[in-house]
């Protein structure tokens, strides 16, 4: 590391010198051709676009999301945690929040007897890390939402087998 630093220190004065010489001969640093040839209005616009603008945090993407208007007005989103598969004991895939739309008409296709639906949003399956993210997503897209299956804190109780046979519980059945 120190070797590199030494080498840099040795080369630095010469680099400065070359830079100064360039500046004296050209009167300003090397110009980018696209900047040099641009009209002043164009430069102004470019400067403005490179900056930032202030907008409200709450934005409704409904008009530009491409979702049909009638779908935006009528649909309601259910935000929930997916249930555990009843046939398996693993719980690793239920730590997400999902959004789901209300069900629309389905019918049996007369040709093959397959199930059909005209609902473009029935297969939208988005997973979120938290409930708040899902709510933000719904609000940005202009959908009505409700949170289903919010986790309630469980009531604490003492789990002790012996308590079932306590003298004051009257849970002992007489054998006589």
Partner 1 sequence: MAGREAVKRAVQQVRPILSVDREEARKRALNLYKAWYRQIPYIVMDYDIPMSIEQCRSKLREEFVKHRQVTDIRVIDMLVIKGQMELKETVEIWKQKGHIMRYWKESQDPKPTDFLSKFIQGVN
Can you tell me the distance from the alpha carbon of 20 to that of 3, in angstroms, rounded to the nearest whole number? 27
The reply to whether 27 sits near partner 1 by the rule CB under 8 A is no
| Cβ atoms of residues 154 and 73 within 8 Å | no
Specify whether the CB–CB gap between 169 and 162 falls below 8 A. Answer: no
Does 132 engage in binding with partner 1 (CB under 8 A)?
A: yes
How far, in Å, are 19, 34, 55 from residue 50 at the CA level? Answer: 28, 16, 16
**Residue 58 binding partner 1, by CB under 8 A:** yes
Binding-residue pattern over the window 71 to 110 for partner 1, x denoting contact by CB under 8 A:
----------------------------------x-----
Question: Distance between CA atoms of 75 and 79, rounded to whole angstroms?
Answer: 13
Tokens of 136: 């933000």
Kindly tell me which residue out of 60, 93, 95, 96 binds partner 1, with binding defined by CB under 8 A. Answer: 60
Instruction: Name residues contacting partner 1, limited to 139-158 (CB under 8 A).
Output: 139
Taking the complex as a whole, the smallest distance from the CB of residue 70 to partner 1 amounts, in Å, to: 9
The answer to whether residue 54 forms part of the interface with partner 1 (CB under 8 A) is yes
Q: Are strands 76-80 and 97-101 parallel, antiparallel or unpaired?
A: antiparallel
The least CB distance from residue 5 to partner 1, in Å, is 38
Tokens 């616009």, located at residue: 45
Burial of 139 (0-12, 13-18, 19+ CB in 10 A): middle
52 is an interface residue for partner 1 by CB under 8 A = yes
Is residue 61 involved in binding partner 1 (CB under 8 A)?
yes
- Binding stretches for partner 1 (CB under 8 A): 48-49, 51-61, 63-64, 105, 131-132, 135-136, 139
């Amino acid at each position: 590391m120190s070797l590199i630093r030494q080498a840099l220190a040795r080369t630095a004065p010469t680099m400065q010198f070359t830079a100064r010489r360039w500046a004296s001969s050209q009167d300003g640093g090397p110009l980018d051709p696209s900047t040099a040839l641009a009209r002043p209005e164009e430069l102004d616009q470019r400067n403005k676009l490179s900056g930032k603008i202030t907008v409200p945090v709450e934005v409704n993407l409904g008009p530009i999301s491409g979702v049909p208007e009638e779908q935006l007005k009528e649909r309601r989103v259910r935000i929930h945690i997916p249930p555990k598969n009843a046939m398996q004991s693993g719980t690793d895939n239920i730590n997400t929040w999902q959004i789901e739309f209300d069900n629309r008409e389905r019918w049996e296709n007369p040709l093959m007897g397959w199930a059909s639906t005209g609902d473009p949003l029935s297969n939208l399956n988005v997973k979120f890390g938290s409930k708040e993210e899902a709510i933000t997503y719904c609000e940005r897209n202009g959908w009505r939402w409700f949170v289903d299956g919010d986790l309630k804190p469980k009531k604490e109780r003492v789990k002790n087998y012996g308590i079932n046979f306590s003298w004051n519980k009257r849970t002992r059945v007489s054998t006589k």
